Amino acid sequence: MDSLNEENLSSQTILDPDGFRPLDAVGDPDPRNQLWATVDLIAGTSKPFTLSDHHRAIAQEVLNEKVPRDVHVQFETVRNLYLYAWFAYRFYPVAEHQSLSCLELALRIRLEKDIQLGNVARGRRPMLQAMLGYAVDKGVIKNEGFERWRNRGETNARARVQFEKMREMVKCDIPEIAWDEAEVQVTEQDLEWDFVQVLVKTLPKIRNEHAHGSTELHFQVLNTIQIVRETINQLF
């Protein structure tokens, strides 16, 4: 351990991570972020999760050029909040909340004419769930636009092929069997997962939990930010 790390660890032992930062600890990582590691299952190795890893994860969440500047600015706030959560762990839920506020802004801009015509919420000010549901019903937001939905099909297709090969092994009484990757073909049945309807129900609930006060604290908010980014990119 070098002297720099010793100094950092020394400052963190007396740091209250949930309290206001003293000036000499402003640049120290929140110790809770240093509990994680990246694991290479193939090589059988692991290494501590670093600020570089953290930055790389959020840096790739980028909106397309057609998204209005006002939305871009709000999403950059999301990315910065997530980035600085490396130093203040409690910024994670703030970043998630901001991402859903950004999504609501994007929906409001994209559906402006429909809102004016009263097509979204029968003349009332439409909220996140109403606008999200309307965009899904009109085909503006589709399952195909989400990586999780696309991966779900491949995962199911691969599992089906593996199960079939296992049955063949048992039937033929052979110790091992191989197959070509070309056999993994995604079918309509593999894709029977209406992901967008799940989002219509869950994203507003997450937003409301943050808006009305919550003590929940976890760092796995990148999933929500990714979904928000994919949704906004479909809107424009």
Q: Are residues 83 and 67 in the same domain?
A: yes
How many domains does the chain contain in total? Answer: 3
Q: Are residues 118 and 83 in the same domain?
A: yes
Q: Are residues 3 and 114 in the same domain?
A: no
Closest by CA to 29, choosing from 3, 56, 48, is 48
User: Would residue 212 count as lying in a domain?
Assistant: yes
Sign of CA dihedral 224, 226, 231, 236: positive
Q: Are residues 218 and 162 in the same domain?
A: no
Q: Are residues 182 and 192 in the same domain?
A: no
Is the CB of residue 82 less than 8 Å from the CB of residue 196? no
pLDDT > 60? residue 7:
no
Residue 221, token pair as written in the block? 């908010």
Distance from the Cα of residue 176 to its chain's centroid? 38
Q: Are residues 92 and 160 in the same domain?
A: no
Report residue 2's pLDDT band, with 50, 70 and 90 as the boundaries: very low
Q: Are residues 173 and 197 in the same domain?
A: no
**216-232 average pLDDT score:** 94
Q: Are residues 45 and 107 in the same domain?
A: no
| pLDDT tens profile 88-98 | 999 999 999 99
Q: Are residues 137 and 221 in the same domain?
A: yes
DSSP string, 22-41: PGGGTTSPPGGGGG-EEEET
User: Would residue 54 count as lying in a domain?
Assistant: no
pTM of the model: 0.79
User: Would residue 57 count as lying in a domain?
Assistant: no
Q: Are residues 202 and 159 in the same domain?
A: no
What is the reported pLDDT for 33? Answer: 92
Neighbours of 103 (CB within 10 A): 29
Of 35 and 3, the one with more pLDDT: 35
Q: Are residues 45 and 83 in the same domain?
A: no
Q: Which residues form the domain of 207?
A: 63-146+187-236
Is the CB of residue 31 less than 8 Å from the CB of residue 12? yes
Of 219 and 129, the one with more pLDDT: 129
pLDDT > 70? residue 10:
no
Q: Are residues 97 and 136 in the same domain?
A: yes
